[in-house]
Amino acid sequence: MSSLSIGQLAVRAEVNASTLRYYESIGLLPTPERKNGQRRYDERLLDRIYFIKVAQQTGFSIQEIAVLLEGFETGDTLSERWEQMAKQKRSELEERKKQISSMIKILDNGLSCKCLTWSECLEKIENTGSC
């Protein structure tokens, strides 16, 4: 097991050290061991940090990420609540995927177009079916 300083982990995870301290303060990362007063992290945390980053980038809130990582509070029916949240987020991601695909198509059309403005391009598309 390799032990990394906060700076080393930050570099490898491609985040700021302050981000790691924040994740730790809100419970997304476990409190690290300390050696000579320095935080020492297990390099296996890189997968967890990657998961957190991807989840944030795709629209998950900190609370939702915590649930995905640690589960719901005691007394909740875990499988039903987790399944409900997963289905909802999956639906939201599918919608975003459609929006992103549409924007990529628009940009691709714009890249092959010789129009000076988007309005001009839209007018050509409406009149001729292509730009």
Distance separating alpha carbons of residues 60 and 78, to the nearest angstrom: 18
Domain 1-70 sits in CATH 1.10.1660.10 = yes
Extents of the domains making up the chain: 1-70, 74-131
Under the banding of pLDDT at 50, 70 and 90, the label for residue 94 is very high
Please tell me the predicted confidence (pLDDT) of residue 77.
Answer: 60
pLDDT of 37 strictly over 60: yes
Strand order of the β-sheet with 33-35 is: 3-4, 38-42, 33-35
The answer to whether the CB of 46 falls within 8 A of the CB of 9 is yes
Under the banding of pLDDT at 50, 70 and 90, the label for residue 86 is confident
